[in-house]
Structure 1
Amino acid sequence: MTASLPAAARLAWWGTAWLRGHVVPDLVIDAVVADDATHVVAALETLGLGGDEAAESLVTGLARLRAEGATGLGAAFPVEGDPVGLGGPRAFNDAALEAGEAVVAVGTRIGLVPVRVGAAITWVAHRAERRQLPDVGEADRGLRAALLATADTLADLDVARWRPEVADRLMNLRHREPVTAPEGVPAPCVGLAARGLQAIEIVELALEDDGGALSASEAEQRRAALSPLARAGRRALVAACSPEGWPPH
């Protein structure tokens, strides 16, 4: 379901679809807000984009971005030490790192960072620089390799003993929750996003606690084994949700 996607992925896909004329505003709002109470856009006036200090509706904010030349929205999912999807400046990077996600308006130098308060999200506007992105094909190959390598390493660490549900997920990689994408998202990117989310879920499950690890050393081995998979999952999600790098279709 679309709701399983992070907020930045939903905004990137559905915001791009609206900017390119594939969907109507009501569909954008329903898909982006999903299970949240509301999404609004703020701080556009500090970038000289009109408006006032009050937050604007999601569609009004997107319309202002379109007036500035935005042709799509691309996602970023950075963590400390791996600012994937970001290009600066520091203020934007710092805010995105704190949130764990952001979007960049393609064709502009504007980025939006989600600030969540309860069930409400405010997308705060920042200046953003051009960024380098993982190639879709490269991200796909990297994710496949990371899944295989992680499965082998975790088997050596007896993952079935301390996290049987993780072992089940690794044994059933073909069975994953589908994601719903709007018109215009290439099919390979939809599949890549689903597999990226799957990889991230495997990592989160495995790191929920120390499970049956016999020692701090074993726990550290587990974290080291999972780190490349987490990185590959984030890169896959960025590539899948960044229209600048989509293959022609």
Structure 2
Amino acid sequence: MSALPVSARLAWWGTAWMRGRLGPDEVVDAVHGDDVTHVVASSDGPSSLLLELAAARNHGADGVAAAFPAPGDPAGLRGPRELTAAAIEAGEVVLLPGTGLVPRQVGRAVEWQALPAERRPPPDLGDADRGLRAALLTAANALADLDVARWQPLVADELHDLRAGVPLVAPPGTPTRCVDLAARALHLEAVVALALRDEGGALSARDAAVRRASLEPLERAARHALTAACSPDGWPPPADDTGQR
């Protein structure tokens, strides 16, 4: 569970609570992790995550979504500008009806900034999965031409293993295909970070630029996949997913 970004934890466990699959203490324990506390800061004053979730549920919400945008790619967001800018800076955001919660680590605490959010169309889980697989194959082939096995054998091995994923724990009701997709997305994000950490002193500047250009679409696809896996508004109905947990 610790491998999941905090927004993903709030999306999965918050959704499970809204749908009556677990209690509030389980949500707090899962989302807080090793943090001392989490506080929501809004124009109405400080609040708690559970109060925000309860208010959303009272207004008809039955799920909590998360998005993972980056500069030039506001994945899973529709605005307004203030929310998009804050979410891009943080690299993640939780979406409730009409509200976005942007996390910021402050020592051993997390402050969530509450901002108005526009409704966005739900991500397509199947499209995100296919996009991640296609980006992985493209990146692996491109890096093979650069002899990735010579400069980083571990990266070469990990890129060619389509089944590899970060071990994750998920709450009841999270579709297995979403857990699997999130695990592969987080794994590939880590592989991309590893590959870009060492530019390889023996490479030419051109080869280093080509390597980076080959990996950036994979990192983008991984963020889109994680967004889809953490967006219950785009999940299949329970009857259509035989791997419900």
Question: When the two structures are superposed, what TM-score results if normalisation uses the length of structure 2?
Answer: 0.92
Asked if the contact 1:181/1:190 (under 8 Å) is kept, the reply is yes
Q: Show CA shifts across 1:116-164 (max 9, x none).
A: 1122211111100011343101111111111111111111111122222
Q: Show CA shifts across 1:162-221 (max 9, x none).
A: 222212312434233221111111111111111111121111111113124512211110
Matched, 1:215 2:204: yes
Matched, 1:25 2:17: no
Q: Which shifted more, 2-11 or 66-75?
A: 66-75
2: distance between equivalents of 1:35 and 1:148?
Answer: 36
Q: Show CA shifts across 1:59-93 (max 9, x none).
A: 22322332333321111100011100111100111
Give structure 1 regions of 4+ aligned residues with deviation exceeding 4 angstroms: none
Indicate how the Cα distance of structure 1 residues 220 and 183 shifts in structure 2: closer, same or farther if over 3 A, else same. same
2: distance between equivalents of 1:174 and 1:17?
Answer: 26
The gaps in structure 1 that reach 5 residues or longer are 47-51
Matched, 1:100 2:91: yes
1: distance between equivalents of 2:14 and 2:126?
Answer: 23
1: distance between equivalents of 2:202 and 2:237?
Answer: 46
Asked if the contact 2:165/2:180 (under 8 Å) is kept, the reply is no
Matched, 1:196 2:175: no
1: distance between equivalents of 2:190 and 2:180?
Answer: 15
The gaps in structure 2 that reach 5 residues or longer are 239-245
Task: Tell me the number of residue pairs that the alignment of Structure 1 and Structure 2 aligns.
Answer: 238
Question: Which residue of the other structure, out of 75, 78, 94, is the alignment partner of 1:87?
Answer: 78
1: distance between equivalents of 2:56 and 2:40?
Answer: 11
Asked if the contact 2:166/2:186 (under 8 Å) is kept, the reply is no
Question: When the two structures are superposed, what TM-score results if normalisation uses the length of structure 1?
Answer: 0.90
Indicate how the Cα distance of structure 1 residues 248 and 158 shifts in structure 2: closer, same or farther if over 3 A, else same. same
1: distance between equivalents of 2:190 and 2:213?
Answer: 16
Percent identity (aligned): 60
2: distance between equivalents of 1:61 and 1:170?
Answer: 40
Could you say what secondary structure the match of 1:23 adopts? coil
2: distance between equivalents of 1:169 and 1:37?
Answer: 35
Question: Which residue of the other structure, out of 110, 114, 130, is the alignment partner of 2:103?
Answer: 114
Cross-structure match for 2:7: 8
- 1:25-64 matches, within 5 Å, as 25-43=24-42, 46=43, 53=45, 55-64=46-55
Quote the offset at 1:36 in angstroms: 2.7
2: distance between equivalents of 1:99 and 1:184?
Answer: 28
2: distance between equivalents of 1:93 and 1:240?
Answer: 20
Q: Which shifted more, 33-42 or 17-26?
A: 33-42
Indicate the RMSD between aligned Cα atoms, in angstroms: 1.5
Matched, 1:168 2:157: yes
2: distance between equivalents of 1:165 and 1:118?
Answer: 33
Asked if the contact 1:213/1:219 (under 8 Å) is kept, the reply is no
Indicate how the Cα distance of structure 1 residues 135 and 216 shifts in structure 2: closer, same or farther if over 3 A, else same. same
